[in-house]
Amino acid sequence: MKKIPAIAVIICLLLAVPAFAEVCPATPPEEGQSAKKELPLEFRNDSGAEITSIFISQTGRDAWSEDLLKDIPLKNGEKRDLYIGRDNILGLADIKVIYSSGKERVWKKLPILEIFEITHRNDGEPAYERIKLGA
C-alpha cells in the first residue's frame, strides 16, 4: 500500500522536469540577445572631434569596460546607441572618451542608470537629463 504514494510522487516529479527545463534553460542567453533587452545609452558626439573609443567603469573601481564603440569611430555630429551593461552597474559610473588625436577625457560620478541620452558638448562636458524609471 505504501508503494502507491511513492510511485505517484515519482510520476509527478518526472512530469515536472520538462516544465522546469523550459523555465530554467541549461544554456546561457546569446551575447546579442541580452544586449537587445537592455535599454541603450544614446551617445551624441558634438565635441568637434572624432571619438575613437568610449569606456565605462563603476566609479572608484578604475576597471574599464571593453571599447563600447567596438573600433568604429564616432564622427562629430553622429550619435550611436551604446550597450553599457546596466545590469552590472551599481550606483555612479565614470566614462572615458578617447579622441582620434590620442587625447582623452574622463567624466566622473555620472548617475548612469538614470541617463539614457548623453551629448558630448563642444566644451568637453557631458549634457544629459536624469530619468528615473518607475518614478
Residue with cell 565605462: 56
Cα–Cα nearest to 105, from 86, 118, 89, 116: 118
- On the question of pLDDT at 126 being above 90, the answer is yes
Q: Answer yes or no: are the C-beta atoms of 34 and 86 closer than 8 Å.
A: no
The domains of the chain, with CATH numbers, are: 31-128 (2.60.40)
Cα–Cα nearest to 54, from 33, 31, 27, 81: 81
Most confident of 10-14, 29-33, 34-38, 40-44: 40-44
Q: Sheet with 93-99: list strands edge to edge.
A: 51-58, 93-99, 104-110
In this prediction, residue 46 has a pLDDT band, given cuts at 50, 70 and 90, of: very high
Higher pLDDT, 95 or 134: 95
Average pLDDT in the chain = 84
pTM here is: 0.72
CA distance 85 to 27: 20
Give the model's pLDDT for residue 62: 79
Cα–Cα nearest to 53, from 115, 116, 123, 104: 104
Average pLDDT of the segment spanning 103-116: 96
Give the model's pLDDT for residue 4: 66
Give the model's pLDDT for residue 133: 72
Give the model's pLDDT for residue 57: 96
Cα–Cα nearest to 54, from 94, 112, 90: 94
Measure CA of the first residue to CA of the last residue in the chain; give whole Å: 59
Burial class (CB in 10 A: 0-12, 13-18, 19+), 43: buried
Residue-wise pLDDT for 70-85, tens only, equals 999 999 999 999 999 9
In this prediction, residue 5 has a pLDDT band, given cuts at 50, 70 and 90, of: low
- How far, rounded to the nearest angstrom, does the alpha carbon of residue 14 sit from its chain's CA centroid? 38
CA distance 37 to 18: 26
